[in-house]
Amino acid sequence: MENIKETNGAQPILQLKNVSISYTPGKKAVDNVSADIYPNTITAIMGPSGCGKSTLLRGINRMHDLYPNVKTTGEIYLKGRNVLTMNAMEVRRMAGMVFQQPNPFPTMSIYDNVLAGYSLNGIRLGKKEKDEIVRESLQSVALWDEVKDVMNKRGSFLSGGQQQRLCIARTLALKPEVLLMDEPTSALDPISTNKIEELLLGLKRQFTIIIVTHNMSQAARISDNSMFMFLGELIEYNNTTQMFTKPQHKKTEEYLTGVFG
């Protein structure tokens, strides 16, 4: 197992230590993964389907708690606090998640969708505060200009790409430490994908982003560091440029050159 060397003296924001996750006892979907992730970087997790990349990502914000048969072992530290012993609600607010399928809440307006994190968590805000958060969040996903006049329309009326940006805004509104993205562009057209990729490059100034992708060129375009997973194991974790130019492992090389995947 390798780990990338810390970059310019920063402390890791997220540390995975011997993380294993299994859906059925004895069969590990994620097998003993350890890695440090540094602030203000984009980390791509790649690998063939079924390699455990989404499972690992969902383990970070305890989404597996929803399904009692899923077991997570090891340690995950987010800003020095052990995620697995923390309150799951707090973890999920610190580690926001964007899903493969855009999932704006269809019963809420665009405005309410952005604030959904607050209303769901029972946090009351003043009108001014609300307006501020909505504007800021929508501006940071470059959606503000497109929707500022239709705030009261339902989020489900937007195009797929806009919906996904709305979901990112909804996550950003809660000011998370880490942004977990599970193949956020796989359901979108190339233009929308392009827009979201640009967005992520800007967002990393404020957030730390981990993105699961099956798209190698996407990883190459936007990520600082890359992980390659195979059969639940983290095969290689390295600076993206290095991994794509000089993969350390045969499996990684085979994957990157399209032998399988």
Partner 1 sequence: MKDKLFKILLFASAVIILLLTAGIVYALVGKSLDVFQEYGVWGFLSNAEWDPRSATEEYGAFSFVIGTLYTSFFALLLCVPFSLPVALFNGEYFKGKKISSFVSSVVDLLAGIPSIVYGLWGFYTLRPLVIELGVNAQGFGIFLSSIVLAVMIIPYASSLSTEFLSMVPNNLKEGAYSLGATQIEVIQHISLPMASSGIVASYILALGRALGETMAVTMLIGNTNNIPSGLRDTGNTMASIIANQFGEADGLKLSALIAIGLLLFVITAIINFIAKLVMKKLAAV
Partner 2 sequence: MMDRQSTETSYKYRTGKNKLMFVLVCLFSFLSMIPLFLILWDVVSKGYKNFNLRLFTEVAPSSMDAMLAKVNGDAIPGGILNGITGTILIVGIAIIITIPLGLFIGIYLSEHAGSRFAKVVSYLTDLLQGIPSIVIGIIAYSWVVKPLGGYSALAGSVALTMMMIPMVVRSTEETLKMLPLSYKEAGLALGSSYTNVVFKILLPSGFGGIFTGILLAISRVMGETAPLMLTALGATVVNWNVLEPTSAIPLLIWDFYNDPNLIDLIWSSSLLLLIVIFLLNWIAKIVARKWKI
Q: Which one of the spans 73-81, 117-125, 183-191, 206-214 is the region binding partner 2 (CB under 8 A)?
A: 117-125
How does 97-117 read in b/e, with b if 16+ C-beta sit within 10 Å?
bbbbebbbbeebbbbbbbbbb
- Strands (E) in 27-101, as ranges, are 27-37, 42-46, 71-78, 81-82, 95-98
Using CB under 8 A as the binding rule, the residues of this chain from 145 to 164 that contact partner 1 are 156
Q: Is the dihedral of CA 126, 129, 135, 140 positive or negative?
A: negative
Burial tier of 191 (Cβ tally within 10 Å: 0-12, 13-18, 19+): exposed
Partner that binds at residue 103, options partner 1, partner 2, none, CB closer than 5 to 8 Å by kind:
partner 1
Report, in Å, the least distance between residue 144 CB and partner 2: 21
Contacting residue, 11, 23, 81, 89, with partner 2 by CB under 8 A: 89
β-partners of residue 24 are: 27
> How far is CA 239 from each of CA 18, 170, 246, rounded to the nearest angstrom?
21, 30, 10
Contact by Cβ (8 Å): 52, 227: no
90 forms part of the interface with partner 2 (CB under 8 A): yes
64 forms part of the interface with partner 1 (CB under 8 A): no
Q: Which helix (H) or strand (E) holds 226?
A: strand 225-230
Report, in Å, the least distance between residue 163 CB and partner 1: 11
Partner that binds at residue 171, options partner 2, partner 1, none, CB closer than 5 to 8 Å by kind:
partner 1
The SS3 assignment for 179 reads strand
40 vs 103, beta carbon nearer partner 1: 103
Report, in Å, the least distance between residue 106 CB and partner 1: 6
Interaction site with partner 2 (CB under 8 A):
87, 89-90, 121-123, 125, 129
Interaction site with partner 1 (CB under 8 A):
61, 63, 66, 89-90, 92-93, 96-97, 99, 101, 103, 105-107, 116-117, 119-122, 156, 167, 170-171, 174
